[in-house]
Structure 1
Amino acid sequence: MKAVPPIPLTPPSSISRNEGPLSRVFKGCLGTLDANCIEKLLLHCGGALERNDITLAQQIMWVLNNVASSVGDPNQRLTSWFLRALISRASRVCPSAMNMEASLGAHVARVRSISVTQLAGYVDLLPWQSFGFCASNGAICKAIGSSQRVHILDISISHCMQWPTLIDSLSKRPEGAPLVRLTVPSTRPHVPPLLSMSYEEVGHRLSNFAKSRDVPFDFRMIPFEDLPNLRDGVKFHHELLMEQLNPSVLDLRDDEALVVNCQNSVHYLPDEALGIDPCYRDEFLERIRGFHPTIVTVVDEDYDLGHASLSSRISSCFNYLWIPFDALETFLPKDSCQRLEYEADIGFKIENIIAFEGLQRTERLESGTRLVQRMKKAQFYSVPFMEDTAKEVKRLLDEHASGWGMKRDDDMLVLTWKGHNAVFATAWAPQPFQ
């Protein structure tokens, strides 16, 4: 499990004297609280909230508050964000929990805006995103071959940080660089980190970079006013995205190799668990297949976090998101502002997973194995990563802490931390229509 030391904790005296519900929760975790004991407390708290037993939930939160620390070891830091998420959930159903929120000093995670320079540092901090960039770019270069015109439809949350490396690679092609069109939908889930500049400015910077590499380049963001059927009223991200994904709006052309790039984005589309018919996730893949792309790259975090049960989500989330907290411990001091901001972004994800339900719970991760099944059901076939791409990914990981590794699956490359799956990368092409 988590390779972090146990946390010393002196339990409140009332627990040792009382044989009520809280003492039974705490039993077996006296003296020290390791990761397993913390997880048990979180699960009992989640169970109490599911039963609307706010009194017991608040008692457990007080115990967790004695463990949590935003500047402690990885377990303490992770616990602090789980505590905030649980308080956030409790405050939605019980006004008295708001007092708990204030007295514990907990707060809701906020989305921050950062500069391009800060974003570059964010991407470089862990290989969490750059792993997918590197794997996808290798697959894209192989798939487009010597095509002279390439259209990239970038459906991601990475603010186009992937493309300078690809542009640089294309500039070195023996047959010369292709004309590259990059199309970015204007809709994006409201998740951190946000960029403090417009996408028009991002496109301008990319165009200047491409010009410096002698790569013909055209950038286009699809504005909402381009949508012919946009109706009045509030719309969710997935509804807006689907309206932007039509051939006329995208200006698809037969003489171009079409690349559809999905970096950490598919899981923001509602899955079948919400009971929406048709399932937006499957409809999205069918829509993409209908574009006849040359290649589709899908990268995402490799864990199932979409359970209907709160307790199941708490357990899965705790046993997955310890990875970035543990990895950051290896090279950043406890009071590092960069570390605190990165962890706050993970805290935003934890709060969404724990505190929200229905369409408001947008963090609906599914594992790489489940994504593979979904892609094959949508009649895509897996495109294997070439050995050169795998070697390039390994060179990237060598620049980071020794705990990072990579393993190959039949359909995936998988980023690992101390042997635990973190992020998967896949590449796909559509089966021919019958």
Structure 2
Amino acid sequence: EPPAATFATTEPKLFRSAIIKFHEVSPWFAFPSALANASILQTLTLDPSRHARSLHVVDIGVSHGVQWPTLLDALARRPGGAPKLVRLAVAGGAAPPGPFSVAPPGYDFQSHLLRYARSIDLNLRIDHTEDLGAGSVALTVGETLVVCVQFRAGHGRADDRTAFLRSIRELEPDLVVLSEIDGGGGGEVGFPAGFARNAELLWTFLDSTSAAFKGRDSGERRVMEGEAARFLETAASEGRDMWRERMATMGFREEAFGEEALDAGKALLRKYDGNWEMKAAPAEAAVGLWWKGHPVSFCSLWKPHRRN
């Protein structure tokens, strides 16, 4: 029996095929990506002075490029015209590694994205950086800066998480999108409770992925499920209340999603299995993704309290 495939051990062509297929059949990552993209567009639309400015997106996520064609397409079609430059800074190394974060050696989404941007007449530049120091993320005066953190902030020790969020705060971004697994619990828990929480998360992933692939086995499905088994090796995910507390301590205030983002989320979920649901309570700014009545993840928007 060969060892279970993980992202790092998969051949790049199958890896790319697996993540694209998974986006098509499951909203696990596609849903928070859609909310993030709609919110980035909204940030540009709400302030007309941003229309012609550069857009700079710092990507600390697990989409390995799959999130961005939809955003690029929407930017190219904007009534006010596309930004004069779209910069994508891929900063995967800025956060501790976790499940779904490590691509196999030889995988390159940059050439695909640049080719796509040229085909829709969009000026795209892609940079890679290993940390978020202001020298590493080359900031330009007047650009709109968005930091998109998808399922990457919750790994490592508590002080790693704090240092990571502080480095984001120091960039003074216009918007931070934070998506995380919703562990439902409070802060850090002991090993037995943490392992049980992770086992439940893995079960949810396997159950929803089996439904997504309609029970059929495939190489793509095996890659996604093999990587998901790494949930059992990580710190138990925390609830959204812990993240709210942590972000507030760092000097961020939470923002509500706009109607267009919520509509985009609802429209996207209709494509998938009926056991998925979106939870957006009036009193809650964050939007939750649930499977069979249990929370899976949440997506939230944050802006820094401006320093005087």
1:400 maps onto 2:308 in alignment? no
Query: CA 1:299/1:186 → structure 2, altered by over 3 Å: closer, same or farther?
Result: closer
Distance between the aligned counterparts of 2:156 and 2:37, measured in 1?
A: 23
Q: Under a length normalisation based on structure 2, what TM-score does the superposition of the two structures give?
A: 0.86
Q: 1:262·1:297 contact (CA, 8 Å) conserved in 2?
A: yes
1:182 maps onto 2:88 in alignment? yes
DSSP 3-state at the match of 1:395: helix
Query: CA 1:288/1:195 → structure 2, altered by over 3 Å: closer, same or farther?
Result: closer
Partner letter of residue 162 of structure 2? D
Q: 1:192·1:345 contact (CA, 8 Å) conserved in 2?
A: yes
**What residue in structure 1 maps to residue 175 of structure 2?**
295
Shift of 1:135: 0.5
DSSP 3-state at the match of 2:273: coil
Query: CA 1:175/1:335 → structure 2, altered by over 3 Å: closer, same or farther?
Result: closer
**What residue in structure 2 maps to residue 232 of structure 1?**
none
Partner letter of residue 37 of structure 2? N
For the pair shown, the structure with the greater C-alpha radius of gyration is 1
- 1:320 counterpart (201, 207, 210): 201
- Equivalenced residue count is 292
DSSP 3-state at the match of 1:250: coil
Q: Under a length normalisation based on structure 1, what TM-score does the superposition of the two structures give?
A: 0.62
Partner letter of residue 263 of structure 1? Q
Distance between the aligned counterparts of 1:320 and 1:194, measured in 2?
A: 20
Distance between the aligned counterparts of 1:316 and 1:167, measured in 2?
A: 37
Query: CA 1:321/1:247 → structure 2, altered by over 3 Å: closer, same or farther?
Result: same
Per-residue CA deviation, residues 387-408 of structure 1 (Å, 9 max, x unaligned), is: 1111111111110000001011
DSSP 3-state at the match of 2:140: coil
Distance between the aligned counterparts of 2:98 and 2:165, measured in 1?
A: 22
DSSP 3-state at the match of 2:260: helix
Report % sequence identity: 26
Shift of 1:157: 2.3
Shift of 1:106: 10
DSSP 3-state at the match of 2:154: helix
**What residue in structure 1 maps to residue 256 of structure 2?**
384
- 1:260 counterpart (147, 159, 162): 147
**What residue in structure 2 maps to residue 44 of structure 1?**
none
**What residue in structure 2 maps to residue 276 of structure 1?**
none
- 1:207 counterpart (114, 118, 128): 114
How well do the aligned residues superpose, as a CA RMSD in angstroms?
2.4
Shift of 1:331: 4.9
Shift of 1:291: 1.4
Query: CA 1:129/1:176 → structure 2, altered by over 3 Å: closer, same or farther?
Result: same
Q: 2:202·2:229 contact (CA, 8 Å) conserved in 1?
A: no
**What residue in structure 1 maps to residue 34 of structure 2?**
134
> Structure 2: which 5+ runs fail to align?
none
1:309 maps onto 2:190 in alignment? yes
Q: 1:193·1:345 contact (CA, 8 Å) conserved in 2?
A: no
1:165 maps onto 2:92 in alignment? no
Distance between the aligned counterparts of 2:69 and 2:212, measured in 1?
A: 27
> Structure 1: which 5+ runs fail to align?
1-104, 223-240, 272-278, 354-362
**What residue in structure 2 maps to residue 229 of structure 1?**
none
Partner letter of residue 370 of structure 1? M
Shift of 1:196: 4.5
Higher normalized helix content (fraction of residues) = 1
Distance between the aligned counterparts of 1:330 and 1:215, measured in 2?
A: 37
Distance between the aligned counterparts of 1:366 and 1:126, measured in 2?
A: 23
